[in-house]
Amino acid sequence: MAGFWQRLFRRDERQNPVITARVERRAPTRRSAPPPARRATVHSSEYVPREEEETLLRLDANGLPNLRLVRARDRLVLEAPGRRWVNPSSPNLRRIGITVFRVRGVSHHEAAVRTGRFTPGSPVRLVREPDNEHDPSAVAVYAEKARRPAGYVNKQNAKRLARLLDAGDELVAISTRGSAAGRDGSAPVVLVTSPEILAHLQR
């Protein structure tokens, strides 16, 4: 009788083989950052370390910085000798008369941001609003031919720029990062300086 059951089980195994699957657990693979040449944007790690900026940045006999504005992927960057990029938020830039900031309040001015031209290199207008109820140092940011502001200079820089504008200093501004008219994009980034320095940066 035992032989009968053994033959029956063997035949059943041949007709319905049991398949066992081996489960392996693999450690999740980390996606490394793409190499610089393939990145769509500029990363903070690509800028000169802050501690090296003071020795790198120099002014010539005319008071003009050893910098140039060059196109790097989605923006304009300030390039020092040796093709080294300076972080636009560096306080060392403000000391030599260059201010770079991200436009604030764009969520309240979406239509003006969308219709304005803020592609890198596009001229931008700064308009003082001394009667602004929220901030007497307010400086509004307009696309070149816009009738409505796209936003405002952030408070960290507004007080200083307002003081210069109120004193009659001539300042010019361009977008270093932003979208073309009719396209949605992130908040524009604007560079402000004197006409002489801007012409030197764009040489």
202: closest CA among 84, 79, 89? 79
Predicted structure pTM score = 0.80
pLDDT digits (tens, 9 = 90+) for 104-139: 999 999 999 999 999 999 999 999 999 999 999 999
pLDDT digits (tens, 9 = 90+) for 26-79: 554 445 555 555 668 899 999 999 999 989 999 999 999 999 999 999 999 999
* pLDDT at 81 exceeding the cut of 70: yes
How far is it, in rounded angstroms, from Cα 48 to Cα 56? 9
CATH number of 44-201: 3.30.70.2330
Q: Using a CB cutoff of 8 Å and minimum separation of 24, what contacts does 30-36 make?
A: none
Contact at 8 Å (CB) between 153 and 104? yes
How far is it, in rounded angstroms, from Cα 188 to Cα 174? 10
How far is it, in rounded angstroms, from Cα 80 to Cα 65? 9
Phi, psi of 91 (to 5 degrees): -65, -20
What is the predicted pLDDT for the residue at 98? 98
Mean pLDDT value of segment 11-15: 52
Name the one residue in this structure whose structure tokens are 């000798």: 81
Provide the residue ranges of all domains of the chain, joining segments of one domain with +. 44-201
